[in-house]
Amino acid sequence: MNFGSDNWAGVAPQIAQSLTKHSQGYAAPYGTSDLDKALEARFNDLFEREVAVYFVGTGTAANSLALSSQNKPGGVVMCHRDAHIFNDECGAPEFYTGGARLAPIDGKLGKFTPKALDYELSRFQPDFIHHGQPMGVSITQATEWGTCYQLDEIEALADVAHAHDLPLHMDGARFANALVNFDVSPAEMTWKNGVDILSFGGTKNGCWCAEAVVFFNPEKARELPFMRKRAGHLFSKTRFIAAQFHAYLDDDLWLELARNANVMAQQLAEGISLSSGAELAWGCESNEVFAVMPSDKIEQLQKAGAHFYEWNTPHSLDLGISDKRRLIRLVSNYSTSKDEVINFLKLVN
């Protein structure tokens, strides 16, 4: 019963096997092997167009490279107040950009509205240099609160960004979980609705450490090879990332893995909403479930071996949290089993 985070999980067996399979013999380093090249081509297919794709080992590297590729002096990136890039990357985007700023926008459950975005952007006037200048907009899909932007919401945000001549970046650390939630194509979730750059995450969904920065306009990525190397994120034995991603994409394994995580989350959510011992904080749209629970119930669950974290309440949401009623976060993953869910729900009731 481990619902701590999807990064507590291991690696899908197919991915472990692929690594072993590719571990012997010689291959060209630094992204130039056949396996590497084949993977790049595969991303074109995956996204139904030519893309420029760069592989790295962490989501923080992917996000930071994506944002710093659009760097401007005095630059400001608009993102949600609860975004991973804003809260959980120890200032990596700021470091990579040499001091650009992330400007947090409020919004319900990890999502901000086109109107809120437009309001924040309109405070910057091209000739008033003192404020700095916007250089990008970043959204997270699925969000840190387990919610997802609808396709038309993405499009509307992209329209605002583009009207201000800014690129739209999507942090897709849980991209697969969002895809599975809507059952749409990667292209639809991204460039067909205006996304310009995607951090495509594999790590949280059954890889060891496999992330990609995908540019839908390859022209805008010209400096990325230098930026990645300069940041120490170009592996020499790159086939190690490629081997993970090939297995990840083979036979739509990645969607299958995400589907398991989402289904398990859905069952957790349903079980909780039907239980007498806890309350679903809000609906689950990916693989994160948030619930309000009596404090003694939380302790009881933990003693019984359930692993999960208490969580801060989202801004401006009244969940009636107190010393006696607390918010918890449950994250399912590619390997979560039905038994884990059933056992957990038994304890909740």
Identify residues 223-282 at the interface with its own copies (CB under 8 A): 223, 225-227, 229-237, 240
Q: Pick the closer one to its own copies by CB: 38 or 129.
A: 129
* Alpha-carbon torsion (113, 115, 116, 118), positive or negative: positive
What is the DSSP annotation of 224-257?
Answer: HHHHHHHTT---SSTHHHHHHHHHHHGGGHHHHH
Are 334 and 10 in contact by the 8 Å Cβ rule? The answer is no
Q: Pick the closer one to its own copies by CB: 130 or 303.
A: 130
Cβ neighbours for 109, distance < 8 A, ≥ 6 positions apart: 143, 145, 147, 282, 314, 317
Figure out which of the listed residues 203, 260, 286, 287 binds its own copies, where binding follows CB under 8 A: 203
Q: What mask, x for binding its own copies by CB under 8 A, covers residues 60 to 99?
A: xxx-x-------xxxxx----------xxxxxx-xxxxxx
Q: How far is the CB of 231 from its own copies (least distance, A)?
A: 7
Point out which span in 123-131, 245-253, 259-267, 293-301 binds its own copies (CB under 8 A). 123-131
Q: Pick the closer one to its own copies by CB: 152 or 303.
A: 303
Distant-in-sequence contacts of 119-126, Cβ < 8 A, 24+ apart: 120/78, 121/78, 121/160, 121/164, 121/166, 124/76
Rounded to whole angstroms, the Cα distance separating 279 from 312 reads: 16
Q: How far is the CB of 215 from its own copies (least distance, A)?
A: 15
Rounded to whole angstroms, the Cα distance separating 266 from 284 reads: 7
Please state the separation of Cα 124 from the chain's center in Å.
28
46 part of the interface to its own copies, by CB under 8 A: no
Binders of its own copies among 279-298, rule CB under 8 A? none
27 part of the interface to its own copies, by CB under 8 A: yes
Q: What mask, x for binding its own copies by CB under 8 A, covers residues 295 to 334?
A: ------------x---------------------------
Are 48 and 185 in contact by the 8 Å Cβ rule? The answer is yes
Binders of its own copies among 129-168, rule CB under 8 A? 129-133
